[in-house]
Amino acid sequence: MAQEKHEVSTVSPLSSSRVGFSLTEIAREGAARACKFSTPHGEIATPCFMPVGTQASLKGVLPSQAASSGAKMILANTYHLLLRPGLEVLRGCGGVRSFMRWDGALLTDSGGFQAMSLGNLVVVEDDGIAFRSHIDGSALLLTPELAMEAQIAFDSTIAMMLDECITPLAPNASLRAAMERSLRWGARCQRYWSEHALAERALFGIVQGGLDLALRREALERTCALDFSGYALGGLAIGESAHSRNALLYEIAPLMPRDKARYLMGVGKPRDLCEAIACGIDLFDCVLPTRSGRTGQAFCFASGDGMIARTRNLRNARYTSDYAPLEMDCPCPSCAGGFSRAYLHHLFRAGEMLGAQLLSVHNIFFYQRFMAHAREMIVGGGFGRWLAAMRASDG
């Protein structure tokens, strides 16, 4: 990629109807950019990775530990929170941030992904998504209006429009139908949001269209016409190859509005993050850090190799008598606390929940360090070299 770098000092408001949000581009290298994203719930340096707390829980990680890692914004899910604890409980306590004791910014997904992931428990209709609860079988019709009502009650810093998410490998006719429905729902979301939400909160649009570049271009243009406060690319990291996804990103991401935050939903492998950052993406989320931690997988920087991401499987017998810390320079509670690889291996072999907790916290710290390094590389003009090294690695 080109080694071009620009310094930009202007502040561009995300939306004339939303106060408290601004995006300042600090530096660029090619399409990759480092920004300051100001929100009513804190200032966020981008590129930024958001840990996922689907049900207002970061799965084994305390909110204070996530904050200590450098995380400034986390994600929760509307569908799951509507089922439990329920809208009235969260409305009664002032929202998700208050409920889970998280002081930073909160982005809430609308529940559109569950239209695909829950399979035969879902019927997608023009009015909304008809769910049969995966918990007790009860019925829930998630309409664009309910998705907005819920996210307003959740006190979300950033809410997402309701979309129909389908696999990018679906036939083009299905991709177009989902795109059209998403656009109709987006207009309904925008209308409800403008009438009911606080001015100090933002609503992001979601661009669908699978891997079809023409369809994505059309979806982006028509979604931008609805004038959201930021834009996300949805319907990716769902079965397609990394090569196909990256080919799309290099074409479509630079076309997204430069003065608004750009969000790639659900992508989380370190090398994939680097490729997306190179395209100009600002925000990311994925369950990978804590999901991997629960299965004994740790993300680390291998020493002496230019901050290249590696993974360690702590279940492997090679760690039985390895008394070194998981990673020498990591400030997480696992590494800084002196817990050895041998001890972590023992915890997983013994089925002790502490192993999953320690690795999940470590992985949250790793992802924040990884993104901080990406920002440093963009500002310093070395991002292209780092990306090339990541591509050449076997990690």
Q: Do 336 and 268 sit in the same domain of this protein?
A: no
Among residues 109, 155, 272, 282, the one annotated as catalytic is 109
Question: Does residue 240 lie within any of the structural domains?
Answer: yes
Q: Do 199 and 96 sit in the same domain of this protein?
A: yes
Q: Which of 268, 286, 304 is the last residue of a domain?
A: 286
Q: Do 106 and 160 sit in the same domain of this protein?
A: yes
What is the CATH classification number for the domain harbouring 208? 3.20.20.105
Q: Do 362 and 377 sit in the same domain of this protein?
A: yes
Q: Do 87 and 218 sit in the same domain of this protein?
A: yes
Q: At how many degrees (to 10) do helices 270-278 and 242-252 cross?
A: 20
Q: Do 267 and 308 sit in the same domain of this protein?
A: no
Q: Is the peptide bond before 51 cis (omega within 30 degrees of 0)?
A: no
Reduced to 3 states (helix: H, G, I; strand: E, B; else coil), residue 159 is strand
Among residues 127, 163, 285, 394, the one annotated as catalytic is 285
Q: Do 278 and 297 sit in the same domain of this protein?
A: no
Q: Which of 286, 302, 324 is the last residue of a domain?
A: 286
Q: Do 58 and 150 sit in the same domain of this protein?
A: yes
Q: Is 259 a catalytic residue?
A: no
Question: Does residue 264 lie within any of the structural domains?
Answer: yes
Question: Does residue 2 lie within any of the structural domains?
Answer: no
Q: Is 103 a catalytic residue?
A: no
Q: Do 218 and 298 sit in the same domain of this protein?
A: no
Question: Does residue 380 lie within any of the structural domains?
Answer: yes
Count of the separate structural domains present in the chain: 2
pLDDT tens for the chain, residues 1 to 395: 444 444 443 445 554 456 789 999 999 999 999 999 999 999 999 999 999 999 999 999 999 999 999 999 999 999 999 999 999 999 999 999 999 999 999 999 999 999 899 989 999 999 999 999 999 999 999 999 999 999 999 999 999 999 999 999 999 999 999 999 999 999 999 999 999 999 999 999 999 999 999 999 999 999 999 999 999 999 999 999 999 999 999 999 999 999 999 999 999 999 999 999 999 999 999 999 999 999 999 999 976 567 899 999 999 999 999 999 999 899 999 999 999 999 999 999 999 999 999 999 999 999 999 999 999 999 999 999 999 999 998 65
Q: Which of 270, 286, 302 is the last residue of a domain?
A: 286
Question: Does residue 20 lie within any of the structural domains?
Answer: no
CB atoms within 10 A of CB 221: 11
Q: Which two tokens stand for residue 218?
A: 């059309």
CB atoms within 10 A of CB 34: 23
Range of the domain at 323: 293-392
Q: Do 105 and 144 sit in the same domain of this protein?
A: yes
Residues 6+ apart with CB under 8 A from 264: 232, 233, 236, 249, 253, 276, 281, 283, 284
